[in-house]
Chains A and B, each alone.
Chain A
Amino acid sequence: MSPTHPEIDSPAPADAGRTVLDARDVSRALTRISHEILERNRGSRDLVLLGIPTRGVHLAHRIAAKISEVEGIEVPVGSLDVTMYRDDLRMRPARALLPTEIPPGGIDDKTVVLVDDVLYSGRTIRAALDAMNDIGRPRAVRLAVLVDRGHRDLPIRADFVGKNLPTSTAESVAVRLTEHDGEDSVTIR
């Protein structure tokens, strides 16, 4: 009975809801995000991609691969687990930690791009900012998400968005990625 993160870790069921992004849509979105990151940063210098586990990490690796195709340069990729910095930590049983791997060059004075699959209340990103504070001091922090579904609780916004998806709070958004769930799709149910 080990506590995990059911909403993150379990493969999302395939059959529920309507598909708003299929595999090709996801690929195009990630390509566009990769170009936008490079454009905004004026190249790949001092760029570090940190994915938020679990699916954010896969997305970060895909973005790094695309950047490498375009620029011919390997951008450092890592992961940043935010479990201990969540503001709802005390409200549920303690959760298992997910991996935090900071690339060898660190994050001091770098432009860190946080990568996550869905942006919703903004609390996860706020926790990520707190976590990064204890690791180093980036020159700048940007946020790339595959889906922005609105309903922010905090003044947080994404710099790079795959798809804006207005939803009601009664709906839920499921992101499936090949590395984790066997296929690429985004569905609403």
Chain B
Amino acid sequence: MTVPMKSRHLLSAADLTRDDAELILATAAELRSLADRPIKKLPALRGRTIVNLFFEDSTRTRISFEAAAKRLSADVINFSAKGSSLSKGESLKDTALTLEAMGADAVVVRHWASGAPHNLANAGWSRSSVINAGDGTHEHPTQALLDAFTMTRHLAPEKGQSLDGRRVAIVGDVLHSRVARSNALLLHTLGAEVTLVAPPTLLPYGVETWNAQTSYDLDSVLPKTDVVMMLRVQRERMNASYFPSVREYSRRYGLDARRMATLQDHAIVMHPGPMIRGMEITADVADSQRSVIVEQVTNGVAVRMAVLYLLLGGSESAVATNAQDESEQQ
């Protein structure tokens, strides 16, 4: 079996061209209606084996990928590896070799180490397609895709409309957020304008070189924005002095009802989950009409179905032609 030159992997949102991203979103739109049918299955991936390789707990994302794979008639194997940066457990390499022996067509991998999906894709341990379901603080491409999909449904409901010129504010711990990185990359590719809002300690060194604006002042950004995406902020960051106290953080960067009232009528509130109510977002905001947080979860299955179908449904991948298989270079 020869490996085609196009990439079989989805490792980073940067791998997707604008055409790729729009194709995925259009496909997801079609697949979303599947949820209304009596038989919620399509035969496209019949006979393919997809492994969910999760080195970090995440019931939500794993179930989403599992549902997506099964609705495309693929066989799904769930592999939860214990082990962290402190206790190595079974190594990534050994796990990959085991999966290769089992004949996995694709591996959906979530790992605590940034770059682990790259290692899986390029180290030569296995020939499966690799789909990044979240690696360390690096990226979470399918999250960005489902976020963009959710945005188009609310801001550009007519078919073919784009996110060109739409303003998206991403608020919170950008430094440690793979969701922020993937979203910043993908939204820029789709023509949206991204503003990252955070205290200076939670913005990455070198963020000026990203295709995004930054601001330390949430109140000035909210009235002009079409989408507010609130990121999770962990209390523990306080102990490493990223901010002095929970109280100060939520006062300066939390989204509460008062701030929500300054949003334009059509603006929506998003959150990748899980939320820490009272920290970055209050209960009344999370449960309000503007919040599309629950819908994000539903859209996740359709988007992941689209990704799996386009990567695996044909003889070769239909997307992510930007990325190169590094094993093919040199």
Instruction: Give A contacts to B, CB under 8 Å.
Output: 1-3, 81, 84-85, 89-100, 130, 134-136
Contact = CB atoms under 8 A, between A and B. Distances in A.
Contact of B318 (A90, A95, A130, A135): A95
A96 to B, nearest CB: 6
B160 interface: no
Contact of A97 (B19, B30, B37, B43): B30
B240 interface: no
Contact of A92 (B23, B41, B314): B314
B317 A94 contact: yes
A98 B29 CA distance: 10
Interface in B297-321: 309-318, 321
Contacts of A94: 44, 309-314, 317-318
Contact of B317 (A85, A93, A130, A134): A93
B43 A84 contact: yes
Given A94-B309, A97-B30, A100-B30, A130 B23 contact: no
A99 B30 contact: yes
Interface in B269-321: 309-318, 321
B27 interface: yes
B20, B314, B316 — most chain A CB neighbours (10 Å): B314
B315 A134 contact: no
Contacts of A2: 19-20, 22-23, 318
A85 B316 CA distance: 17
Contacts of A84: 42-44, 309, 313
Contacts of B313: 84, 89-90, 94
B293 to A, nearest CB: 27
A134 B318 contact: no
Interface residues of B, number: 28
Contacts of B311: 94
Contacts of B22: 2
A161 B26 CA distance: 33
A92 B37 contact: no
Contacts of A100: 30, 33
Query: Chain A: interface secondary structure?
Result: loop
A97 B318 contact: no
A74 B316 CA distance: 43
Nearest to B316: A93
Contacts of A98: 30
Q: Which 3 A-B pairs have the closest CB atoms?
A: A94-B314, A94-B313, A94-B318
B101 interface: no
B30 A135 contact: no
Contacts of A89: 44, 313-314
B172 to A, nearest CB: 33
A92 to B, nearest CB: 5
Contacts of A99: 30
B43 A91 contact: no
Interface in B16-66: 17, 19-20, 22-23, 26-27, 30-31, 33, 37-39, 41-44
Contact of A134 (B26, B41, B312): B41
B315 A91 contact: yes
B20 A134 contact: no
A2, A90, A92, A96 — most chain B CB neighbours (10 Å): A2
A90 B314 contact: yes
Contacts of A92: 314-315
Given A85-B43, A135-B37, A1 B321 contact: yes
B35 to A, nearest CB: 13
